[in-house]
Amino acid sequence: MNNRRRNEKEIDKDTLCVNDAQDAHNMLLVRGGSPLIGELEISGAKNAALPVLCATILSNGIFEIENCPRLKDVFTLIELLSSLGARCEWQDEPDERQGAITNTPCGTTLKINTANIASQDAPSELVRRMRASFLVLGPLLARFGIARVPLPGGCEIGSRPVNFHEAGLKALGARWHVKEGFVEVTARRLKGADIVLDFPSVTATEHLMMTATLCEGKTIIENAAREPEVEDLGQMLNAMGARIEGLGTSKIMIQGVKRLSPVRWRVIPDRIETGTFMMAVGIAGGDVTLKGTMPSYLDAVITKLRLTGLDIETDENAGAIRVFKKRHKRLNPVDVTTSPYPGFPTDLQAQLTAMMAFSSGVSVVTEQIFENRFRHVDELRRLGADIRVEHRSAIIKGKEMLTGAPLTATDLRASASLVIAGLGADGETAVFDIHHLDRGYERLDGKLRAIGADIDRR
Ligand code: EPU
């Protein structure tokens, strides 16, 4: 109990140094018309950091997670790990990069001690706040033989079932019961199995891969997700002593081992944050170099953005992307369909839809991954955008100018799309409910301001 208390305090102290100012203000005011010019450091990937943090449960000891983004979803997972008994502390290495942008001295290395995990019972409130926390289920089961985690419900972008997670864990030998909204899994002995996913789900692949590392024998996951975040997690697990092959392909093979050891691990750059800034330049115009990123993760995005007429130079060795466009140059329309990696990511669909609202013709953007991911469209229309949704496609007739308006953010990527649309609109755009934005971006507004955007948090 004392331990738990102390952890909560540490987390409060550490998270507050970046986030209390954000909590107090839930609106961003964007005045369009300023070009974006300068250099920006890209943060660690949210969707890589979350499973990496869950994977620490698989072993007993001290992990150091570098380049861990300081954003709300990560803070929620820290709270969850702490509630299980882990000790989480941000290292106070001064981080020039963050300091330059936020004037805070906080580092981005997170130290997690999993030696004292004593509970296998995840609090409902935390899992409800963030679906990805469901990923603690398999690691708790693999380490302790038992786990109880709330069953996540639907969310803003669709129904999002967990049937692949359920079928996979059962194939590995787990007994699965749903009681009072919680999933209870138990297993005396987990055994490797052949698993075929009906769809290459990112978190189902991650969940089953983590669990299979400590199973007896060999697991094969067919139709596995190939996202860089899945590959990063697999490489971290291998560094911990797991025996995983086939990472980055759709067939992942895991030979179970008896135990895993803690490691120091560096989270990969956020390709979605990178793409969001590229599209911000597409809308506002300017000349921005994004550093600390990985251009090859964005091949499909860069190919499409070049077709729009955006100028892009990449340097894989330096981890840099330069993107530039004259402010009044109209972009060409493009048709895009989202698909699993290496296709165009669904997490950049809303931002692309916003960008195409300023193009010189008609674009069709089709969403294949989630059933309800066009809620930004109604809000973009309030800026005067000409967009209609038919089934799973948005048909966007580009306009030379949109006009600022009050908008409401509905989910994480939708929020980002509204903010960057505001950069190109005439006058003031107020984006409300930006707590959605803070879940998955490390100070998007601060970074945009650093490259010349006229944007304030109110
Ligand atoms: N699906 C099922 N059953 C399952 C799991 C998934 O039917 O058991 C379906 C989903 O409903 C969806 C499709 O499979 O239609 C793909 O979903 P996936 O499982 O790949 O998504 P996810 O793993 O829940 C991750 C990211 C999302 C991102 C998607 C797709 C994390 C923590 N989340 O979600 O990120 O959109 O992959 O790339 O990695 C975001 O960052 O804004 C975000 C939503």
**For 384-436, what is each residue's pLDDT tens digit?**
999 999 999 999 999 999 999 999 999 999 999 999 999 999 999 999 999 99
pLDDT reported for residue 452: 97
Q: Scan for tokens 């409902």, then name that residue.
A: 124
- With a 6 Å cutoff on the Cβ, whether 133 touches ligand 1 is no
- With a 6 Å cutoff on the Cβ, whether 406 touches ligand 1 is no
Asked, as a colleague might, if the bond just before 342 is cis with ω within 30 of 0, I would say yes
Share of the chain above pLDDT 90, in %: 83
- With a 6 Å cutoff on the Cβ, whether 262 touches ligand 1 is no
Choice from 47, 366, 439 to test ligand 1 binding pocket (greatest atom count within 8 A of CB): 47
Angle of helix 202-212 versus helix 137-144 axis, rounded to 10: 10
Angle of helix 163-171 versus helix 202-212 axis, rounded to 10: 20
- With a 6 Å cutoff on the Cβ, whether 199 touches ligand 1 is yes
- With a 6 Å cutoff on the Cβ, whether 458 touches ligand 1 is no
pLDDT higher than 50, residue 103:
no
Choice from 127, 201, 349 to test ligand 1 binding pocket (greatest atom count within 8 A of CB): 201
- With a 6 Å cutoff on the Cβ, whether 346 touches ligand 1 is yes
155 a catalytic residue = yes
- With a 6 Å cutoff on the Cβ, whether 344 touches ligand 1 is no
pLDDT band at 156 (very low <50, low <70, confident <90, very high): confident
pLDDT reported for residue 372: 84
Say if residues 168 and 204 touch (Cβ distance below 8 Å): yes
Q: Whose C-alpha lies nearest to ligand 1, atom 17?
A: 201
Mean pLDDT of 28-41: 97
- With a 6 Å cutoff on the Cβ, whether 154 touches ligand 1 is no
Average per-residue pLDDT in the chain? 91
The ligand 1 atom nearest the CA atom of 157: 44
Q: Whose C-alpha lies nearest to ligand 1, atom 6?
A: 201
Query: Is the pTM for the entire model greater than 0.85?
Result: yes
The ligand 1 atom nearest the CA atom of 201: 20
Write the DSSP string, 134-165: GGGHHHHHHHHSEEEEEPP--BTTB----HHH
Say if residues 404 and 383 touch (Cβ distance below 8 Å): yes
- How far does the centroid of ligand 1 lie from the alpha carbon of residue 180, in Å? 24
The ligand 1 atom nearest the CA atom of 135: 32
pLDDT reported for residue 424: 97
Q: Whose C-alpha lies nearest to ligand 1, atom 11?
A: 160
Mean pLDDT of 16-22: 41
Mean pLDDT of 82-90: 96
pLDDT reported for residue 13: 36
- With a 6 Å cutoff on the Cβ, whether 165 touches ligand 1 is yes
pLDDT reported for residue 4: 38
Which residues does 231 contact at the CB level (< 8 Å), separation at least 6? 247, 248
pLDDT band at 1 (very low <50, low <70, confident <90, very high): very low
Mean pLDDT of 155-182: 90
> pLDDT tens-digit profile of 348-374?
999 999 999 999 999 999 999 998 899
Beta pairing class for 362-366 and 393-397: antiparallel
CA angle 192, 196, 199 (to 5 degrees): 135
- With a 6 Å cutoff on the Cβ, whether 341 touches ligand 1 is no
pLDDT reported for residue 24: 56
- With a 6 Å cutoff on the Cβ, whether 370 touches ligand 1 is yes
Nearest CA-CA partner of 17 in 373, 443, 420: 443
Q: Whose C-alpha lies nearest to ligand 1, atom 4?
A: 162
pLDDT reported for residue 7: 38
Q: Whose C-alpha lies nearest to ligand 1, atom 2?
A: 161
- With a 6 Å cutoff on the Cβ, whether 45 touches ligand 1 is no
Choice from 54, 133, 160, 441 to test ligand 1 binding pocket (greatest atom count within 8 A of CB): 160
Q: Whose C-alpha lies nearest to ligand 1, atom 20?
A: 201
> pLDDT tens-digit profile of 238-256?
999 999 999 999 999 999 9
Q: Which two tokens stand for residue 287?
A: 């000349």
- How far does the centroid of ligand 1 lie from the alpha carbon of residue 367, in Å? 13
pLDDT band at 106 (very low <50, low <70, confident <90, very high): low
pLDDT band at 151 (very low <50, low <70, confident <90, very high): confident
Beta pairing class for 194-196 and 182-186: unpaired
Q: Does 263 or 8 have the greater pLDDT score?
A: 263
Q: Whose C-alpha lies nearest to ligand 1, atom 24?
A: 203
Name the active-site residue from 17, 88, 155, 215.
155
- With a 6 Å cutoff on the Cβ, whether 50 touches ligand 1 is yes
pLDDT reported for residue 153: 62
pLDDT higher than 80, residue 12:
no
Beta-bridged to residue 363, according to DSSP, are: 396
pLDDT higher than 60, residue 175:
yes
Mean pLDDT of 166-194: 96
Q: Whose C-alpha lies nearest to ligand 1, atom 28?
A: 347
CA-CA distance, 437 to 416, in Å (whole number)?
6
Choice from 203, 205, 344 to test ligand 1 binding pocket (greatest atom count within 8 A of CB): 203
pLDDT higher than 80, residue 3:
no
pLDDT higher than 70, residue 96:
no
CA-CA distance, 227 to 244, in Å (whole number)?
16
